[in-house]
Amino acid sequence: MSQYRDIIYQGLWKNNPGLVQVLGLCPLLAVTATVTNAMGLGFATLLVLVASNTTISLIREYVPKEIRIPIFVMIIASFVTTVQLLMNAYVYELYQSLGIFIPLIVTNCIIIGRAEAFASRNKVLPSAADGFFMGLGFASVLIVLGAIREVLGQGTLFDGMDLLLGDWASVLRIEVFHSDTSFLLAILAPGAFIGMGFLMALKHAIDAQLDKRHKAQPVIETEPVVETESSTS
């Protein structure tokens, strides 16, 4: 069980794809202007990540080492196409507002990174779990950043949620404060970079606090390090 605990810890916190590996910055910065967009892209990425990790783990014995990357990319591309068609069919307006960033999930470095670093070396269940929690870690960063930018930029939360969840969800819209002038910086790309920087700083601050508390107590158990990786993007 400790293996799964470690996968959860790695995906959601220690090796968070958004905050620590800093992978997939392009969609992370581009679509997080509102929570709805962030959630849509986050869940699409999550879905692709779980599916591709599972598949690649299943076929890992049969893939020749020399041509593994093209094969991984083809598998990922087929899942992305599936997700794209599904979104086109069921959440058409969200599909339109995310635009090019759905097909661009293919090039998201997190997915190929997890395929190469984890799924091609581990059994099916751990690989699927890794995909799920890495995807969840990425999606949560997207959603938090989207929430910050949406509140600062237009003073609302969950605006346009009905595009993602159906008509009933328009009641979720919260108006935090009313303003006639939107704060464009938060909505535009620079706001995403600044917000991302603050999130990373916050994570470092929390880690430093935890370290301090950890050092104050005697160390009881040390977590085994399952894998060390350096993925590039």
Closest CB to another protein among residues 135, 191: 191
Write the secondary structure of 87-144 as one string of H (helix), E (strand) and C (coil).
Answer: HHHHCHHHHHHHHHHCHHHHHCHHHHHHHHHHHCCCCHHHHHHHHHHHHHHHHHHHHH
Choose among 48, 56, 217, 203: nearest CA to 122. Answer: 56
Instruction: Return the range that interacts with another protein (CB under 8 A); candidates 49-57, 114-122, 162-170, 186-194.
Output: 186-194
Closest CB to another protein among residues 28, 186: 186
Contact with another protein (CB under 8 A) among 184, 205, 208, 210: 184
CB of 149 to another protein, least distance (A): 13
Burial class (CB in 10 A: 0-12, 13-18, 19+), 20: middle
Does residue 151 belong to the site contacting another protein (CB under 8 A)?
no
Site for another protein in 62-81 (CB under 8 A): none
Amino acid at 84: Q
Contact with another protein (CB under 8 A) among 65, 66, 181, 224: 181
Does residue 183 belong to the site contacting another protein (CB under 8 A)?
yes
For tokens 């599909």, name the residue: 95
How many residues form the binding site for another protein (CB under 8 A)? 8
x/- site string to another protein, residues 193 to 212, per CB under 8 A? -x------------------
For tokens 């301090």, name the residue: 212
Q: Is 226 helix (H, G, I), strand (E, B) or coil?
A: coil
Q: Which residues are near another protein by CB under 8 A? A: 181, 183-186, 188, 190, 194
